[in-house]
Amino acid sequence: MLEESIIMVGLLVGCSIYLILQSSFVRILLGFAMLSNAVNMFVLLMSGSPDQRQAPVVIKDGPFVDPLPQALVLTAIVIGFGVLGYMVMLFYRLFKACGTTNSEDLYSKSRETFLIEPEEAEK
Amino acid sequence: MNSLLLIGLLLMPLFSAAFLLLLRRRCLLRRGLLLVASSLQVVLAWMLVLTCSDVGYVVHSLGSWGPFVGIVVVADMTSSLLVLAGATLALVCVAYSFFQTLASTEHPLRGVLIQFLMVGVNLSFFAGDLFNLFVAFEVLLLASYALMSLEADDWDVKQSYPFLALNVLGSSFFLMACGAVYASYGTLNLALLSERMLETTGDGRGAVLAALILTVFAIKAGAFPLYFWLPNSYPTLPAPVLGLFGGLLTKLGVYLLMRFTGTVFPPNLDYHYLVLMWMGGVTMLLGVLGAVSRGGVQSILSYHILSQIGYMILAVGFYTPYAFAACLFFILHNIFVKSCLLLNGGVVIVLNGTDELKKTGGLWKLAPLLGLIFLLQALSLAGIPPLSGFWGKYMIVLEGIRLREFFLAALALAVSVLTLFSMLKIWLGAYWKDAVAGYEPDLKKKGWKGMSLAMGVLVLISLGMGLVAQHFVGFCLRAGEQMLDAAAYRQAVLGGWDRRGL
Asked, for residue B220, whether it belongs to a domain, the answer is yes
pLDDT at B157: 86
pLDDT digits (tens, 9 = 90+) for A13-59: 999 999 999 989 999 999 999 999 999 999 988 887 777 777 777 76
Cβ of B168 within 8 Å of Cβ of A98? The answer is no
Q: Which DSSP helix (H) or strand (E) runs through B58?
A: strand B58-61
Residue B429: phi and psi, rounded to 5, are -70, -40
Mean pLDDT value of segment B421-436: 87
Contacts of residue A70, defined as CB under 8 A and 6 or more positions apart, other chains included, come to A44, A47
Confidence band, pLDDT 50/70/90 cuts, at residue A120: low
Confidence band, pLDDT 50/70/90 cuts, at residue B460: very high
How many domains are there within chain B?
A: 1
pLDDT at A20: 92
For residue B251, the distance in angstroms to the closest alpha carbon of chain A comes to 23
Confidence band, pLDDT 50/70/90 cuts, at residue B357: confident
Asked, for residue B185, whether it belongs to a domain, the answer is yes
If one compares B314 and B1, the residue with the highest pLDDT of the two is: B314
Mean pLDDT value of segment B272-296: 91
If one compares B407 and B225, the residue with the highest pLDDT of the two is: B407
Report the C-alpha gap between B362 and B431 in whole angstroms. 5
Bond prior to B368 in cis (omega within 30° of 0): no
Report the C-alpha gap between B226 and B220 in whole angstroms. 9
Interface probe for A, chosen from B123, B131, B175 (most Cβ of A below 10 Å), is B175
pLDDT digits (tens, 9 = 90+) for B60-118: 988 888 888 889 999 999 999 999 999 999 999 999 999 988 878 888 889 999 999 99
If one compares B440 and B368, the residue with the highest pLDDT of the two is: B368
Interface probe for A, chosen from B158, B167, B184, B236 (most Cβ of A below 10 Å), is B158
Report the C-alpha gap between B439 and B47 in whole angstroms. 48
B158 has a chain A CB within 8 A of its CB: yes
**Cβ within 8 Å of B, A 8-37:** 20, 28, 32, 35-36
Report the C-alpha gap between B158 and B254 in whole angstroms. 27
pLDDT at B311: 93
Asked, for residue B498, whether it belongs to a domain, the answer is no
Q: Looking at the predicted structure, is the pLDDT value of residue A116 above 70?
A: no
- State pTM to two decimals: 0.92
Asked, for residue B495, whether it belongs to a domain, the answer is no
Report the C-alpha gap between B107 and B24 in whole angstroms. 9
Report the C-alpha gap between B90 and B17 in whole angstroms. 14
pLDDT at A62: 74
- With beta carbons less than 8 A apart as the criterion, state whether B104 and B41 touch: no
Mean pLDDT value of segment B328-339: 93
Confidence band, pLDDT 50/70/90 cuts, at residue B256: very high
Asked, for residue B494, whether it belongs to a domain, the answer is no
Asked, for residue B496, whether it belongs to a domain, the answer is no
Identity of the residue numbered B433: K
Q: Looking at the predicted structure, is the pLDDT value of residue B153 above 90?
A: no
Mean pLDDT value of segment B203-208: 85
* E-strand stretches of B63-111: 72-75
Residue B138: phi and psi, rounded to 5, are -70, -40
pLDDT at A99: 80
Radius of gyration of chain A, Cα coordinates, nearest whole angstrom: 22
**Cβ within 8 Å of B, A 71-90:** 72, 75-76, 79, 82-83, 86-87, 90
What rounded mean pLDDT belongs to chain B?
90
Could you list the residue range(s) of the whole structural domain that residue B112 is in? Answer: 2-488
pLDDT at B69: 84
